[in-house]
Every structure is written in structure tokens, then in C-alpha cells.
Amino acid sequence: MMMDESRTTLAEAVEFEATFAEKLTAAVREKLLPFAGHVSGTVFEAAIGKVIEQAAKVLDVPFAELLTGAWERYPEIRELADARLHPSGEETMLELAEHRFAWEYAPKIEIVFNETYPVSIPLGVTVGVKVIGGVLVVQGGRFRELRSGKLEVGVALTVAEQPAGSRIKDVQLPRVLRFGDGVPIRDAVPVGRIATPEPAAVVANS
């Protein structure tokens, strides 16, 4: 799929409705089945729909937010944000080596039928993103854009520790993925390196 801009979400990238809705609905229905006799069919189906909606919200996160939040922990990125080394008018490009990020979420959704029958639905959401390459542009302590970027994203869901679907998908980025007005590089706990062994750094003054 083609990402048109930086607000494209994980849910859109893995086509949540087409990929997960059917299996997730079946898994949630099985979990709630013991309570089906205590409520009307309409209420029961509405409860299932609410759980699916909440699961989709977990993946309703823009790619740009996940990527920039992970990138800002790396030492070469932190160096580019140092105003003593790179004045605000200086645009710097950093060639990225292939690297991966992973996130795990374990939300619990609480459903109460007729104010009497409470039930907790534990979800498991695993997200993996592989950045295959690209050139990251930083200016004035902000992420500005990713050029020639390539991504692979994987998502797996569980309901009460039972599999409820998974998907791995290549994400075709535009030639230049712009991060709006720029995303500030915040202070963060540093990790390893993600630049190529001999990164191509280009400086342009504007």
C-alpha cells in the first residue's frame, strides 16, 4: 500500500478490517458466550463490537509517531539534535541501516452486562516494524522527513492468549515522507546505533 502522508496508521497499513475483524470477532464471541443467555442478542453483539473497536484503537497510531519516538533514542540521532554541533539552519541527512523496532501491548477491556455481569477481555497486541533503508533528514532538533524509505510491518493479535490473526506487510512509502512541521527530538534513554557503518551525511545551510 502507498502511504500518502505521515498520519497513516498501523491499522490502515495492515488493513485491520479485512485482516483481523472476522477472527477477532469469533474469538471475542467465544470469550463472551457464557454471558449470552443473560442479555439480549442486540446487547451481546454490541458488546462484541465494542471490544473490536477498542482493539482497532490500539493500532490507530501514526507510523511517524512510532518511528520518531523510537529513533530519538539512538546516539547518532541525538547528536544531530545537538544545537552546539548543528545550528538550527543546518539540514543534515543520515543514511539508515536496516533495523527493527518491536512493541507489545496488553490492554484489558472491561464489559459489564446489565450492571450485573462483569467480564474482562485480555487482548495481546504485538507490533514489529523493520526499516529496510532510507535517508532521515533532521533540522533544528526536529525530524523533518524520511527519503527513499522502505518498511515492513507485522501485527499479531490474541484474545485471552488465543491467536486472533496476524499480518506481515510491505509498506510502500512515498519518495519523500514528510513529518508535518517537524517532530521534536526529545531527551530519551540511548540505545545502539542504526546508521550505516559509514553514514552518508550531507549538510546544507538555508
Does 76 map to a domain?
A: yes
Within a domain: residue 48?
yes
Please state, as a whole number, how many other Cβ atoms lie within 10 Å of the Cβ of residue 33.
10
The answer to whether position 169 is within a domain reads yes
Q: Does some domain include residue 3?
A: no
2 lies in a domain?
Answer: no
The C-alpha angle with vertex 127 and arms to 23 and 56, in degrees rounded to 5, equals: 50
In this predicted structure, the answer to whether residue 80 has a pLDDT above a threshold of 90 is no
Closest by Cα among 101, 102, 10, 23 to 56 = 10
Q: Is residue 55 scored above 70 in pLDDT?
A: yes
Whole-model pTM?
0.78
CA separation for the pair 19, 56 (Å, rounded): 11
Per-residue pLDDT at 192 exceeds 80: no
Domain total for the chain?
1
pLDDT of the residue at 153 = 93
Asked whether residue 98 is domain-assigned, the answer is: yes
Tell me what the mean pLDDT of segment 167-182 comes to: 87
Q: What is the pLDDT of residue 88?
A: 80
C-alpha cell of residue 108 = 484489558
Is 147 part of a structural domain of the chain? yes
What average pLDDT does the structure give for the chain? 83
Residue 168, in any domain of the structure: yes
Q: Which domain holds residue 77?
A: 10-205
pLDDT of 16 higher than 50: yes
